[in-house]
Structure 1
């Protein structure tokens, strides 16, 4: 019999997927030595990634006559830049990330059995397989690159070149290990999307638990507790959305550029092998964006549902103070919790995801028409 993926197992899997990059913040009482080690690790990660970027840029500049190698090297640049973006975002919002992570762990540690059953039934059972598949695909794709030099006629996993002879030992082993480390960091930073989505889902789950509390209130004291919990949830959800949005922006930006490049590859006369690789990469890029849009859409609806559930209580049999407090919670619930992207972009939702897909296909169609006109004109 297959064991269920529980809330605690989900947290453990997400933490394990981020272990390579030391993404999760330290506890509030962490020593200065640990904080220094964490910062040094982040800086070393940036340095390692920049050196891989430099080697691929060097390969592009040296092989401008080989379009396929230029394309392969260019595709490897996007995830590397994504790694640097995530690290810089983490540094910029470290205290906020530390706060929401602490609140997440505290909630999961103190959750009651009945509450855990509600979270399990409404969230873990529905979402765990999808996000588990995404995390697995990120790491499996990287591991497939690692075995490339073993089964294929290529010296290194990534198409990179150096201004020195890297084909001799021990330089070849060092460069191979270097790319393996950066590849694991890329997979882990792509898994940050799952962690951010988990924060959004957990915020939705806490609103769901509040709805269940509102349905079972027996007196004014229970209702006052619900009001206090709702105010705390609104503050927590705001912090979560502010934490999520820079990482979501980076994912959308790099996924969009990568999808445009994939479209160019399909339009031009690239090899069949490269086109097949691009299909899998394009699906991965679309899944990354969907990982944010799905929980953001649910958070919009569940935060709005508080008003409806509060109105369905027996407010007409209660006192004037009760009705005033009820009116306050209804008014505050009419403004949904949105993950608003910076730079003037719309908020994340399934509607945004649908428009995102439509825009990508429009870009692809436009490029195809321009390429056909240029080809016919020549």
Structure 2
């Protein structure tokens, strides 16, 4: 225990309270509304504060209602919290849904309630038909999900029905083809907001023509466009939204690093490592609010039943113990497997792996003069605009 800690576990469900860490945090943590504005601009200084102390740190009165909250930000502690069955998603918050369920972290891999009975050679309604790019991509795009090496995070794109990769690849060609004749574009609404919905629709067996309906449902809720079990519906909506923001962050990172962009163009299999590093460096859902349904013990202390735990996925990815020079965006980084930061890892990886190469290959693709992508947001984080020039 750190010197000056308030005391040891009292056996009654209280957790170790570290007075120095709490004082340091509270000296930098004003009212929550003000903190949110600062974190939206740059969360890194607050991540560094949380890396100084092991275990959960309680900050009273900074969460709505004045009842305080436990902050968990080191990578090992976040992994322990996500794996703890006694910590469940707090229904009172509006985090990206689907990352956790009643037994902890949602399992990697496609759930058994995803439709996989759609034949690989489905009707033409499943395939974009806007331009000749759709036809040519049937030869250029992959036809299954097992050809590229897996990402360093260990996720398995091949767990999804094989047809999904082909649909995503064709959609990537169509979207890129529409942009290729343009002189400029904003990639967030014109690419990042569409490709994840196409991928999700293919995974669920929904015809391509229903993509817009699915996209609206993922953003606004309401009745699902097809019958889905509740757990899968929550996970699907969270995955679509998280993928869109992560794609924007990934593209922003590559476009500001021409050498990395050239490397991925030369070797598309590097997309896997780029995706893994994006989820570590710029997770689309930087935190989850969990609630203890029973007394649980985490590394360094215990949390009483009913108390909340702010599980900072963003801080975990910046833990210098596991990720040296964490502020550096480096797809060649080795070391620890990143903390899970996507509701449906297989689908997110597959979307990037097969949907991005057509866009990245566009002639003249570069950031618009004077534009610098900037990730913003607290609950959902990523660039809201991505202005580019094109060779058209």
Q: TM-score if structure 2 supplies the norm length?
A: 0.25
- Between Structure 1 and Structure 2, the one with more helix by share is 1
Q: TM-score if structure 1 supplies the norm length?
A: 0.26
Q: Indicate the structure (1 or 2) with the bigger Cα radius of gyration.
A: 1
- Between Structure 1 and Structure 2, the one with more strand by share is 2
The structure whose RCO (Cα within 8 Å, separation 6+) is larger is 2
